[in-house]
Amino acid sequence: MQGIWTTEQVRAAETRLLARVPEGALMRRAAYGVAVRAAELLTLHTGGVQGRRVVLLVGAGNNGGDALWAGAFLRRRGVGVAAVLLNPTKAHPAGLAALRRTGGRLLEPSECAEWTGNADLVIDGIVGISGKGPLRPDAAALLDTVSAPVLAVDLPSGVEPDTGAVDGPVVTATSTVTFGAYKPVHVLNPQRCGDVALVDIGLTGELGEPALLRLDPADTASTWPVPTPSDNKYTQGVTGVAAGSAAYPGAAVLAAAAAVRGKAGMVRYAGPAADVVRSHWPEVVATGSVFDAGRVQAWVVGPGIGTGREGTEVLAYTLGQAVPVCADADAITIIAQQPDVLDARDPDTPLVLTPHDGEFERLTGAAPGHDRVAAVREAARRFNAVVLLKGHCTLVADPDGRVLVNKPRGAWLATAGSGDVLSGLIGALLASGSDPWLAAGVAADVHARSGELAARGVPVSASGVLAAIPQALREVRALVG
Ligand SMILES: NC(=O)C1=CN([C@@H]2O[C@H](COP(=O)(O)OP(=O)(O)OC[C@H]3O[C@@H](n4cnc5c(N)ncnc54)[C@H](O)[C@@H]3O)[C@@H](O)[C@H]2O)[C@@H](O)CC1
Ligand SMILES: [K+]
């Protein structure tokens, strides 16, 4: 897994490291990384480096210092470098001196727009981890003149570093070079960062436990259950699916089918859509009610069950079976309306809740807001459940405070029935005994990969996502050999 650290953690780690290294060394390491990436981008976009025009947007702090030093390194490669000092009295003195020494130019206010408009590359050193709020009007106006690629130093200025939230004009970068550690903005708002390169400045040993985690393909591959020669259809864990209704059988078919596609073994369906499920997926053992479904090792409950008395009884029954439960859709609404239904659950029984924003608001009384990580972490603690908050970057929080952030793979998955497929996959993993937090995270990863494979740039249906699950699993397993 890849760690992500908050700006507070990074600042504390930098302070410890700074005490041990010569003054200015960290900034020069960071800036050198920026200059290397800048040269790559110039080559990519203009075919060369020498004689190209780079404009530095320089703010009041060390982020601006990085940009000025990067400008000095680029001068040595024959690049024409000009700096816009957004706060001239506070520009980093050593960085400024370095740029001057190498023949870099400091622009007068009247020249700035002409230069930014004709640059081959713009380096955003306006603000870094101490940034608060959006771009100020002068910086926003200058960025409006830019048509060249933008390389962000540490993070795209104006985007809130710890939440990725945007509340006004911000930089949209082609690429970002960050230092020492990934910060939350890089995984929570990747659209604004472009591709992100991490430069090692020697911080690793100082960082401590990461605040957030992101899955590597190896995590998905090693968590996904694979049968051994001694397994039979029961030993891998039977997934129970309580979903759909006679009038709306689709949710039942999709959730049960995803459980079938996700894992070898056995799937039981229990509910009023039994005939429809059986006719589409004859391998599913289907019965009319949860009360006579037989033994399962995990339940998926909720999609399409309705929020009335029958749905509530089904939910209460599954919660009382002392096996892990993935509660989705109508089950979440029932919990929101009748929190006592959770009394049926032994607190030690794993529960995974999978709300989208609207369901999250119903469940907790408040929308996730700007700080989605804090919101989902608090909900997981409050409900003593794994909470998977759907969104562009899906978040998965464990009651113990761990939070996973999944890589976004396009918005095509926002389609009817897609959530039913996800809950079926989570149920399949829960039945095999996976850690519920990891189960939810890797299921969301495979779900997103399936969506990406099925869509390939055009709209995709939930059935298409379902059909792509085997290929997504094959690709994940192949990535790690
Ligand atoms: N501390 C270190 O050892 C290192 C720091 N590095 C760089 O230093 C950066 C952090 O530097 P600083 O703490 O000096 O602060 P920043 O450069 O992030 O911000 C400087 C100042 O800008 C002002 N500001 C805040 N929000 C603003 C906004 N929206 N628009 C305009 N101005 C705003 C504030 O007065 C803030 O203190 C990192 O992001 C990284 O780029 C790197 O050089 C690596 C080493
Ligand atoms: K920046």
Span 370-394, pLDDT tens digits: 999 999 999 999 999 999 999 999 9
Q: Is 26 in the pocket of ligand 1 (CB under 6 A)?
A: yes
What domain count does the chain have? 2
**pTM (2 d.p.):** 0.95
| Residues 202, 176 share a domain | yes
CA of 156 to the centre of ligand 2 (A): 5
| Residues 251, 208 share a domain | no
Amino acid 310: pLDDT: 96
Binding-site residues for K(+), in ranges, read 63, 124, 157
Amino acid 248: pLDDT: 87
CA of 94 to the centre of ligand 2 (A): 18
| Residues 367, 286 share a domain | yes
| Residues 221, 161 share a domain | no
HEC sequence for the chain: CEEECCHHHHHHHHHHHHCCCCCCHHHHHHHHHHHHHHHHHHHHHHCCCCCCEEEEEECCCHHHHHHHHHHHHHHCCCCEEEEEECCHHHCCHHHHHHHHHCCCEECCHHHHHHHHHHCCEEEEECCCCCCCCCCCHHHHHHHCCCCCCEEEECCCCCCCCCCCCCCCCCCCCCEEEEECCCCHHHHHCHHHHCEEEEECCCCHHHCCCCCEEECCHHHHHHHCCCCCCCCCCCCCCEEEEECCCCCCCHHHHHHHHHHHHHCCCEEEEECCCHHHHHHHCCCCEEECCHHHCCCCCEEEECCCCCCCHHHHHHHHHHHCCCCCEEECCHHHHHHHHCHHHHHHCCCCCCEEECCCHHHHHHHHCCCCCCCHHHHHHHHHHHHCCEEEECCCCCEEECCCCCEEECCCCCCCCCCCCHHHHHHHHHHHHHHCCCCHHHHHHHHHHHHHHHHHHHHCCCCCCHHHHHHHHHHHHHHHHHHCC
| Residues 173, 159 share a domain | yes
CATH number at residue 345: 3.40.1190.20
Mind listing the pLDDT tens digit for each residue in 292-340?
Answer: 999 999 999 999 999 999 999 999 999 999 999 999 999 999 999 999 9
| Residues 399, 315 share a domain | yes
Atom of ligand 1 lying closest to residue 26 CA: 45
Q: Is 130 in the pocket of ligand 1 (CB under 6 A)?
A: yes
Among 214, 249, 264, the domain boundary falls at 214
Q: Is 27 in the pocket of ligand 1 (CB under 6 A)?
A: yes
Which protein residue's CA is at the shortest distance from atom 25 of ligand 1? 131
Amino acid 224: pLDDT: 93
Binding-site residues for AMP, in ranges, read 390-394, 419
| Residues 265, 243 share a domain | yes
Binding-site residues, in ranges, read 62-66, 124, 128-134, 154, 157, 251, 304, 356, 390-394, 419-420
Q: Which percentage of the chain shows pLDDT scores above 70?
A: 100
Q: Is 398 in the pocket of ligand 1 (CB under 6 A)?
A: no
| Residues 154, 195 share a domain | yes
Mind listing the pLDDT tens digit for each residue in 24-38?
Answer: 999 999 999 999 999
Q: What residues sit around ligand 2, an ion, with C-beta below 5 angstroms?
A: 124, 152-153, 157
| Residues 93, 18 share a domain | yes
| Residues 109, 54 share a domain | yes
Among 214, 246, 266, the domain boundary falls at 214
| Residues 258, 367 share a domain | yes
Which protein residue's CA is at the shortest distance from atom 42 of ligand 1? 27
Domain with 330 in it:
217-479
CA of 46 to the centre of ligand 1 (A): 30
| Residues 143, 50 share a domain | yes
Amino acid 156: pLDDT: 98
CATH number at residue 179: 3.40.50.10260
Name the stretches of the chain with pLDDT < 70: none
Among 214, 231, 260, the domain boundary falls at 214
Mind listing the pLDDT tens digit for each residue in 81-103?
Answer: 999 999 999 999 999 999 999 99
